[in-house]
Amino acid sequence: MAQTPKIAVAMTVNGQDVSARLEARTLLVQYLREGLRLTGTHVGCDTSQCGACVVHVDGKAVKSCTILASQCEGAQVVTIEGLAHGDKLHPMQEAFREHHGLQCGFCTPGMIMTAVDMAQRLGTPDEHTIREELEGNICRCTGYHNIVKAIDAGCHEMAKGQHRQAAE
């Protein structure tokens, strides 16, 4: 049988330029997990509903199981591994720990990436909005109670950070 044709793909992941020759059907999540060994991005379903795979592509939250790696040609991709600055956690990561927003941790990377996107788009949404925004992220462990609290706190922290930056 003929070799499956491969195509060249180049993008920036967590600030590093990466490139590879991939089968055209390779999903972004496969490239991240298997190609780059960034296993923090998880796969929890096969119908694009659980959100365990959420990463940022050019600043927007994207389900990496629903996009081909080749569609990210030239894109800036950020995964959970790229969210902290060195040892300094992102405020949303801190908020999840502080408010016990995770148990088994499997949904957590996707939750945090979704939450950061939420904060960037909506600032400090109310509880009702946070819950509606989480429609695409399933957690089986926490009952969402503490995830909602964590996101609320994380959004406020991020907003404070922006104020600080604006003031400087």
Interface with another protein, residue 139, by CB under 8 A: yes
Please pick, from the candidates 81, 103, 120, 156, the single residue that binds ligand FES as defined by CB under 6 A.
103
* Pairing of β 6-13 and β 16-23: antiparallel
Distance (Å, rounded) from C-alpha 154 to C-alpha 160?
A: 10
Interface with another protein, residue 49, by CB under 8 A: yes
# of chain residues touching ligand FES (CB under 6 A): 22
Interface with another protein, residue 63, by CB under 8 A: no
DSSP count for the chain of H helices, then E strands? 5, 5
Please pick, from the candidates 40, 51, 91, 109, the single residue that binds ligand FES as defined by CB under 6 A.
51
Interface with another protein, residue 126, by CB under 8 A: no
Distance (Å, rounded) from C-alpha 130 to C-alpha 117?
A: 11
Q: How many CB atoms lie within 10 A of CB 90?
A: 20
Partner touching 134 among ligand FES, another protein, none, CB below 5 to 8 Å by kind: another protein
Maximal CA-CA distance, the chain:
63
Interface with another protein, residue 61, by CB under 8 A: no
Write b or e for each residue in 2-33: b if 16 or more Cβ atoms lie within 10 A of its Cβ, otherwise e. eeeeeeebebbbbeeeeeeebeeebbbbbbbb
Name which of 119 and 139 has its Cβ closer to ligand FES.
139
Candidates 8-16, 43-51, 74-82, 112-120 — which segment interacts with ligand FES by CB under 6 A? 43-51
Q: Which stretches of the chain bind ligand FES, using CB under 6 A?
A: 43-45, 48-53, 63, 65, 102-108, 139-142
